[in-house]
Amino acid sequence: MSVFSLHRRLCRNRAFWFVLLLILSFFILSSCSSDDTGDKDGISIVCANFAGYDFTKEVVGRDNENIEVIFLSSGSVHSFEPSFRDIADIRSCDMFVYVGGESDAAIDTLLSSMEGVNVFRMTECVELLLEHAEHSVPGEEHDHAHDNDEEEYDEHVWTSLFNAVLISKAICERICLIDPENADIYRENTRVYADKLMELDACFADLFESVGDKPLVFGDRFPLRYFADRYSLEYYAAMSGCSHSSEPSVKTVVQLIDTVRKEDVKAVFYIESGTHDVAERIAANTGTTAALFNSCHKISDRQIEDGATYLSVMYENLETLRNVLT
């Protein structure tokens, strides 16, 4: 068993006991909350990550007052810890949207204690890719040497704009089953949104075609396997997307520095949920720039209040890439 597999199994066990305590507490308090959840008006959809939340808002219409779309967590999808309010919302909602990957063990345990929840898993809408590519973590090849049965599928399915279209369409069809009277509206909203997503997808494709075969280098975790696969990008990263390590090995950093120099890379990227330290260290040693690539993995409440959407964040990524690659 690999170190990553053992660590994840231990994390799942901790998640089980954490959620079990919440469930027991919830049943004790359920009679107190029944008045709040039993007489709800309209339709409610609860989403456990930002991408699912934003796709759902686009499908139903951002100004739709008949459907309440609730975003449970502004933290990482890997550290979801439901509150009593969250549990009550999930229990009473008409549809629950979440990623549905390996890191959602706590959510799966919670759902197994509930009956009748209409569950939508984003990972069931697309073709899944293994988390590790052979060239993704140059200093840690031994982590990729185990059998495919032990490898995990990458959960960050929303990072591909094409996948975002597939997920949005699937969300739309599920909502149409809940509210068939307004199905035409939801399908038209989704058609318009899909066109916007594919327009941006074409912009990324044009950019990468114009800059040639330069690889992307991340001095951080790499939750962008689906994004890279969409445009056939070569990439190197300090850690895998779901790595529990907080710091790469010295060997990995040295190899990334060598890669930047050899490939004449102009920028070293970091993601929004990590630290800048490794990327900045590599950039300082190679005379390049450290730049943010936002994976839409961790979005703050403040960003949402300021109007951040999946599309707006991805357009910011496009502008960043244009600035550092051209």
Digitized pLDDT (tens) for each residue of the chain, 326 residues in all:
443 444 455 445 555 555 555 555 555 444 444 444 444 568 999 999 999 999 999 999 999 999 999 998 655 555 667 788 989 999 999 999 999 988 888 899 999 999 999 999 999 999 999 886 544 555 444 343 334 445 688 999 999 999 999 999 999 999 999 999 999 999 999 999 999 999 999 999 999 999 988 899 999 999 999 999 999 999 999 987 666 566 888 999 999 999 999 999 999 999 998 778 999 999 999 999 999 999 998 888 889 999 999 999 999 999 999 999 98
Write the burial class of residue 252 (CB in 10 Å: 0-12 exposed, 13-18 middle, 19+ buried). buried
CA-closest candidate to residue 175, choices 311, 77, 61: 61
- Considering the domain architecture, whether residues 33 and 167 belong to the same structural domain is answered as yes
- Residue 37: the pLDDT is 44
Is residue 208, in this structure, part of any structural domain at all? Answer: yes
- Residue 243: the pLDDT is 60
Ramachandran class of 15: left when φ > 0, alpha when ψ lies in -120 to 50, beta otherwise: alpha
- Residue 212: the pLDDT is 87
- Considering the domain architecture, whether residues 321 and 176 belong to the same structural domain is answered as no
Instruction: Give the alpha-carbon dihedral of 300, 237, 228, 71, to 10 degrees.
Output: -20
- Residue 18: the pLDDT is 53
- Residue 69: the pLDDT is 96
Is residue 144, in this structure, part of any structural domain at all? Answer: no
Is residue 143, in this structure, part of any structural domain at all? Answer: no
- Considering the domain architecture, whether residues 175 and 267 belong to the same structural domain is answered as no
- Residue 82: the pLDDT is 77
- Considering the domain architecture, whether residues 69 and 183 belong to the same structural domain is answered as yes
The sign of the dihedral angle between the CA atoms of 299, 14, 88, 33 is negative
Looking from the CA of 264 toward its CB, the CA atoms found within 13 Å total 6
Query: How many domains does the chain contain in total?
Result: 2
- Residue 24: the pLDDT is 53
- Considering the domain architecture, whether residues 204 and 90 belong to the same structural domain is answered as no
Place of tokens 């114009």: 210
CB 136 within 8 Å of CB 240: yes
- Considering the domain architecture, whether residues 188 and 216 belong to the same structural domain is answered as no
- Residue 240: the pLDDT is 76
- Considering the domain architecture, whether residues 234 and 277 belong to the same structural domain is answered as yes
- Residue 29: the pLDDT is 42
- Residue 224: the pLDDT is 95
- Residue 74: the pLDDT is 52
Is residue 225, in this structure, part of any structural domain at all? Answer: yes
- Considering the domain architecture, whether residues 178 and 246 belong to the same structural domain is answered as no
- Considering the domain architecture, whether residues 127 and 220 belong to the same structural domain is answered as no
CB 278 within 8 Å of CB 58: no
Range of the domain at 25: 3-134+152-195
The angle at the Cα of 125, spanning 308 to 112, to the nearest 5 degrees, equals 95
Query: pTM for this one?
Result: 0.84
- Residue 147: the pLDDT is 42
DSSP state of 182: G
- Considering the domain architecture, whether residues 28 and 158 belong to the same structural domain is answered as yes
Q: How far are the Cα atoms of 164, 167, 175, 206, 307 from residue 202, in angstroms, in the given order?
A: 14, 18, 28, 6, 24
DSSP state of 154: P
CA-closest candidate to residue 111, choices 95, 125, 128: 95
| Ordered DSSP codes for 106-152 | HHHHHHHT-SS--EEEGGGSS---BS--TTSSTT-GGGG-S-GGGPP
- Considering the domain architecture, whether residues 205 and 177 belong to the same structural domain is answered as no
- Considering the domain architecture, whether residues 63 and 79 belong to the same structural domain is answered as yes
Output the domain CATH number for residue 28: 3.40.50.1980
